[in-house]
Amino acid sequence: MKVTSERQENCQVRVTVELDAVETENKLRQTAQKLSRRYTVPGYRKGKAPYAAVLRTFGRELLQEQALEEFGQELYDQALKGIEYEPYTAGELEKVEWDPFRLEILVPIMPEVDLGDYRSVRATPEPKPVTDDAVDHYLEDLRQQNTQWIPVERPAAPGDHLVVDIEGRAGDEVVLSNQGRELTLDAASPYPLPGFHEQVAGMSPGEEKQFTLTYPDDDPRKDLAGHEAVFTVKLVAINEPDVPPLDDELAQMVGDYSTLADLRVAAHKNLEEEARQAAEAELPDKALDAIIAAATKIEYPPQAVDKEVDSMMEDMEQNLSTRGIKLDTFLGMIKKTREAYRQELRPAAEQRLRHVLALAEAIKREGVKVEEADVEARVQEMKAQEEFQSEEMQKLLDDPAARAGLANEMLLTKIRERIAQIARGEAPPLEITAEASAGAEADAPADVHVDAPAEAEPVETAEPSGSTLQTSEP
């Protein structure tokens, strides 16, 4: 058997497996023998049919297909031992030729990262300037936070805070039952159906009303889409907002300020401090982006991006399930297919993958690690906190998987702090020794978690091995 490999772009290698005529014929004969044991060949007992009879009965093409199924994985495994690359995941069969026998397999290999002179990267926190508009919004938020809701005896009007009892029926089935539901009257609101708020507008406290609405054709509840439902609504109470004016009295109400001008000065200072803290918190990400931009090499196979997309989809599904929503229902609401949504996630997935790879390499290069004693100390600290006092939470903190996750979180915190130090030019010098380098390599984690963009939660990026040949047709 002859094995050759040719490096392709994006961390892929085309592996070619060739057999000479004798090896090919032996594989076909072995396959024919197995077929004769499994199936009856006319004129012969099972397992006794000669090669020529099996070939005549099943045909050379079927025999070749069966031989590939029987020996393809074996050839692939042997080929992997003959190349210098470590597979990332299963290879994909691209081409099969039989005269002479030749397999071409595209094998994804492990990502390769070279951050170059990453320690020369510099970045500084850049707080966003505080504008007069920002101060105005801040003060308006204070007004809204100090709003008083006053009960009123009049017909409901837009912006009112209502308390209602609702029952909806589609035929004999109760499709909605909600007692003491609080809502703000808004004609644009889709809850529970478009047009509901328009029907409630004008009702008075204590009044009951019945009306019919139709579920939209694209309603995620397929059994109700396009169907009518009769709603019975009782308006329990109406409260209207009493927003305090922006004046000295408000300033005295919210803090130790004599005048509105004093409050405005304090608001400006508070916003400046918030902007400073936000800029400091963003520095590790800003510096990491600069490190990635200056990196000599960050390469990965397409399958690595696919895996990130899979993780983001799984996280989205889990997040939605906590709210009682299925992913397909959500996708139906935004009118997207799974595949279309996956394609939308790819840019974010690729960006996150680059961050994960850069962080993992930085952890290795910097020799950053978390000791078991550090994890234990953190666990004991958490166990002493009020929110972890239940027996269930105490057991969870002792779970090896939970401790591994905590160690990973602590490791990420440490490398982010180190990246911020690098950005400021304040990082401690590296100890460049063979022993330290080997130790950093050993301590570097296989999995690194990063904050997912947009709606997704942090996810895990693992480095799988590729020992199974995918024999789908090219």
Q: Is residue 181 exposed (0-12), middle (13-18) or buried (19+ Cβ within 10 Å)?
A: middle
Q: What is the pLDDT of residues 409-430, one digit of tens each?
A: 999 999 999 999 999 999 999 8
Among residues 243, 238, 242, 244, the alpha carbon closest in space to that of 185 is found at 238
Give the mean pLDDT of 133-161: 95
The answer, as to whether pTM is greater than 0.85, is no
pLDDT of the residue at 466: 53
Ranges for all domains in the chain classified under CATH 3.30.70.1050: 2-110
Instruction: Tell me the pLDDT of the chain averaged across its residues.
Output: 89
Residue position matching structure tokens 């993780």? 311
Q: Given this model, what pLDDT does residue 89 score?
A: 92
Nearest alpha-carbon partner for 331 in 343, 393, 109: 343
Q: Return the exposure string of 63-85: e unless at least 16 CB atoms fall within 10 Å of the residue's CB, then b.
A: bbebbbeebbeebbeebbeebeb
> Does 298 have pLDDT greater than 90?
yes
In this prediction, residue 325 carries a pLDDT of: 85
Query: For 44-91, where are the E strands, in sequence order?
Result: none
CB neighbours (10 Å) of residue 90? 19
pLDDT: is 189 or 275 the higher one? Answer: 275
Tell me the CATH class for 148-242: alpha beta
pLDDT tier at 467, thresholds 50, 70, 90? low
**CATH 3.10.50.40 domain position(s) in the chain:** 148-242
Superfamily of domain 2-110: Trigger factor ribosome-binding domain (3.30.70.1050)
Tell me the average pLDDT across 327-351.
93
* Predicted pLDDT at 439: 44
Calculate the alpha carbon distances from 463 to 164, 270, 360 in Å.
54, 45, 11
Provide, rounded to the nearest whole percent, the portion of the chain with pLDDT above 70: 91
Run of H or E including 436: helix 434-443
- Of the pLDDT bands very low, low, confident and very high (cuts 50, 70, 90), residue 462 is very low
pLDDT at 451 over 60: no
pLDDT recorded at residue 389: 87
User: Region 234-240: what's the mean pLDDT?
Assistant: 96
Least Cα distance to 355 among 427, 424, 430, 412 occurs for: 412
